[in-house]
Amino acid sequence: MRSWRPLTWVIVIVQVLFLVWVIAAANSGAHACTDSEYSDACVTSAAIGTMIGLAFILFLWALIDVILGVTWMVTNKNRGRYDAPPTGV
């Protein structure tokens, strides 16, 4: 079994942190409103704000994943490559 390199652990930790951030952001909008005459407007605006925030987090997550993925591929260039055997000619 191959050992994981430090960059692989960084990538896993970043993924877990983003997942926790998305879950926390999704749950944050529901608690913003109290009972008032504008309760429906408050709930609607909280839902819209939550979705805008989630879209930003997901965009940032995808951007960071691309950067980390390219960095991982460049730094692990010798892993998993197939070298053809000599032809004997």
Asked whether residue 79 is domain-assigned, the answer is no
Domain range enclosing 62 = 6-74
Asked whether residue 33 is domain-assigned, the answer is yes
**How is 22-49 classified by DSSP, letter by letter?**
HHHHHHHGGGS--SSTTHHHHHHHHHHH
Tokens of 38: 């504008």
Tell whether the model's pLDDT for residue 61 goes beyond 90. Answer: yes
Instruction: Let me know: does 79 contact 7? Beta carbons within 8 Å.
Output: no
Q: How confident is the model at residue 47 (pLDDT cuts 50, 70, 90)?
A: confident
Q: What is the pTM of this model?
A: 0.72
Maximum pairwise Cα distance, the chain? 87
Q: How many domains does the chain have?
A: 1
Distance CA 12, CA 88 (A): 43
Question: How confident is the model at residue 1, as a pLDDT?
Answer: 46
How confident is the prediction for the chain on average, in pLDDT? 83
Asked whether residue 1 is domain-assigned, the answer is no
Asked whether residue 89 is domain-assigned, the answer is no
Asked whether residue 82 is domain-assigned, the answer is no
Query: What is the mean pLDDT of the segment spanning 25-53?
Result: 80
Q: How confident is the model at residue 67 (pLDDT cuts 50, 70, 90)?
A: very high
Asked whether residue 84 is domain-assigned, the answer is no
Tokens of 74: 């460049």
Question: How confident is the model at residue 41, as a pLDDT?
Answer: 83
Q: pLDDT over 70 for what percent of the chain? A: 78
Asked whether residue 59 is domain-assigned, the answer is yes
